[in-house]
A and B are shown apart, each in its own frame.
Chain A
Amino acid sequence: DTGVSQDPRHKITKRGQNVTFRCDPISEHNRLYWYRQTLGQGPEFLTYFQNEAQLEKSRLLSDRFSAERPKGSFSTLEIQRTEQGDSAMYLCASSSTRRDINPEAFFGQGTRLTVV
């Protein structure tokens, strides 16, 4: 297993366009998290899944943001009608709730979004 994979690594889009990011977690991990990070700040929680169920969604997440994990494996994060304030690094992480696997979350390399 090569770890958490995110695609694309970089995305430049025009304001008002929709964008979709993909995350492939570590295969034996049942939890998957999405975070947003801006320069000089720590990662800000967006949402997380356990298997295919979305367990929590941040109040900060507007209705332009939606995430899915339809088969409990990979996940997508879509941003509709992008705004310049959406420019950030979008990070995906995965972890396991199994007792025989350490609980720490491992991160992908992120998708850098620039809205022009």
Chain B
Amino acid sequence: EDQVTQSPEALRLQEGESSSLNCSYTVSGLRGLFWYRQDPGKGPEFLFTLYSAGEEKEKERLKATLTKKESFLHITAPKPEDSATYLCAVHEGKLIFGQGTTLQVKP
């Protein structure tokens, strides 16, 4: 069965303290891996798509990377406005989501 697991479940950082979020997956044939950001009470907001091992995408303080079994979302020098839940999903026709990592960045 296809599975997506994210870790940690929750992460507290001080402003400027860089860190990484992990997304491990087991799928029969990866058609793409997506990262989303979700603010409380809102729908997920698309961030990145990764297709093949070794691929990297960047947007402001965020960088997503992909290997054959996992993806990382690196957050460099985060700011309080980066506080949100970050979701990864694998594309198998439908999207299969992990449970998310809730990030809190304190000033």
**A103 to chain B: closest residue by CB:** B32
Q: Are A107 and B32 in contact (CB under 8 A)?
A: no
Taking CB atoms, residues of chain A closer than 8 Å to B93 are: 48, 55-56
- Given contacts A41-B100, A42-B97, A45-B96, are A103 and B91 in contact (CB under 8 A)? yes
CB < 8 Å: which of A42, A44, A104, A108 contacts B43? A108
**A110 to chain B: closest residue by CB:** B43
Q: Are A107 and B43 in contact (CB under 8 A)?
A: yes
In the bound complex, CA of A56 to CA of B94 (Å): 8
In the bound complex, CA of A44 to CA of B87 (Å): 12
Taking CB atoms, residues of chain A closer than 8 Å to B102 are: 40
CB < 8 Å: which of A33, A48, A104 contacts B46? A104
In the bound complex, CA of A102 to CA of B91 (Å): 13
B residues 43-88 near A (Cβ < 8 Å) are: 43-46, 49, 87
Interface membership of chain A positions 24-47, coded 1 if the CB is closer than 8 angstroms to chain B and 0 otherwise: 000000000101000011111100
A-B contact count (CB 8 A): 61
Task: Answer whether residue A115 sits at the interface, using C-beta atoms and an 8 A cutoff.
Answer: no
Per the CB 8 Å criterion, the residue count for chain B at the interface is 25
Taking CB atoms, residues of chain B closer than 8 Å to A44 are: 97
Task: Answer whether residue A106 sits at the interface, using C-beta atoms and an 8 A cutoff.
Answer: yes
What's the minimum C-beta distance from A97 to chain B, rounded to whole angstroms?
A: 10
Q: Are A42 and B100 in contact (CB under 8 A)?
A: yes
**B49 to chain A: closest residue by CB:** A104
Taking CB atoms, residues of chain A closer than 8 Å to B41 are: 110, 112
Interface membership of chain B positions 26-43, coded 1 if the CB is closer than 8 angstroms to chain A and 0 otherwise: 000001101010000111
Question: What are 17 sample pairs from A and B whose C-beta atoms fall under 8 A apart?
Answer: A33-B95, A40-B100, A41-B100, A42-B99, A43-B87, A43-B89, A93-B95, A102-B49, A103-B49, A103-B91, A105-B34, A105-B46, A105-B95, A107-B43, A109-B42, A109-B43, A110-B42
- Chain A residues with a Cβ under 8 A of chain B: 4, 33, 35, 40-45, 48, 55-56, 91, 93, 102-110, 112
